[in-house]
Amino acid sequence: MAHNLAQCRVLVQKAVRAGAKALFLPEASDYIAASADETVRLVRGVHDSEFVLGLRDEARRARLPIHVGVHEPGCRDDGLRRVRNTVLWIDDGGDIAHRYQKIHLFDVDIKDGPVLKESNSVEPGAEILPPFDTPLGKVASTICFDLRFPEIAIALRRQGADIITYPSAFTVPTGKAHWEILLRARAIETQSYVIAAAQVGRHNEKRVSYGHSIIVDPWGVVLADLGDSGAAEPEIATAEIDHDLLRKVRTEMPLNRRTDVYPEV
């Protein structure tokens, strides 16, 4: 986790030099464990986590909001030892102003590929949170596997989202097949910007992440893609959030859903 915090500090410095108004980091930026037991053993609360405390200091020092995926201790009294997969918005004063807990857990068994069962160690969230005000516009949070469920994005757009985030650690097989397609689809069907900060490269013997951090505009155009190179030091991608484009797309092609014919999601 100390190494991961050091990597994030590099990204903060790069974001500041680029003139960014916020920094978006991937899912599980604090750590990716090799087993369910290790995932639970490593978890710390946000007030005790060296990683979160360090990022809060960075946000305060740089006056830069940070959107970051972390693990937090589970809170359900169900007899299971599990964690929460959450994303935090740390404001430019270093305070945690928003927290979303991942709703859809990644349980998958791919032939000749990874077998992952997130539900063995992760407690699912139970609510979609409304978009919140930021220097970039109204931001809405989801996490990784939530990407495969358009109902969330549509609900967030209906609540006023300008930007929908998908911090992720996609596997390589699913990333090659679906990553860009799904992100562009979510942007197009909600007429919103999509920001998807993604883990890249090998974490341990069991886990490799696809990479390709992407920013997509409301017309579905990919504005930035960091690829999967796994450079010597972490990289950032930047793009302008153009609110004139948002208004233009939504005005010229209004998506008037026929909720009289099919149920509203």
H or E element in which residue 173 lies: helix 172-190
Specify the pLDDT at position 265: 64
pTM of the complete model: 0.95
Specify the pLDDT at position 79: 60
Dihedral sign for Cα atoms in the order 177, 67, 13, 30: negative
Q: Does the pLDDT of residue 77 top 80, yes or no?
A: no
Specify the pLDDT at position 78: 64
Reported as a single tens digit per residue, the pLDDT across 100-141 is 999 999 987 777 766 778 988 999 999 999 999 999 999 999
* Among 8, 58, 72, 144, the one annotated catalytic: 144
H or E element in which residue 11 lies: helix 2-18
* Among 8, 58, 102, 123, the one annotated catalytic: 102
- The Cα-based distances of 40 to 34, 118, 142 in angstroms read 11, 12, 22
Spell out the alpha helix ranges (H) of 19-122: 36-42, 50-62
Reported as a single tens digit per residue, the pLDDT across 156-213 is 999 999 999 999 999 999 999 999 999 999 999 999 999 999 999 999 988 899 999 9
Structure tokens at 145: 């596997």
- What type of residue is 94? G
212, 226 contact by CB (below 8 A): yes
| Residue range 211-228: mean pLDDT, rounded | 97
- Residue for token pair 């948002």: 246
Specify the pLDDT at position 2: 96
- 102 a catalytic residue: yes
The mean of the pLDDT values for the chain is: 94
Specify the pLDDT at position 112: 75
Provide the percentage of residues in the chain whose pLDDT is more than 70: 97
Structure tokens at 173: 């097989």
* Among 8, 27, 58, 72, the one annotated catalytic: 27
The CA distance from 137 to 29, in Å, is 24
How many separate helices (H) and strands (E) can be counted in the chain?
Answer: 6, 15
The CA distance from 126 to 101, in Å, is 8
CA end-to-end distance (rounded Å), the chain: 39
Specify the pLDDT at position 113: 67
Reported as a single tens digit per residue, the pLDDT across 228-239 is 976 778 999 999
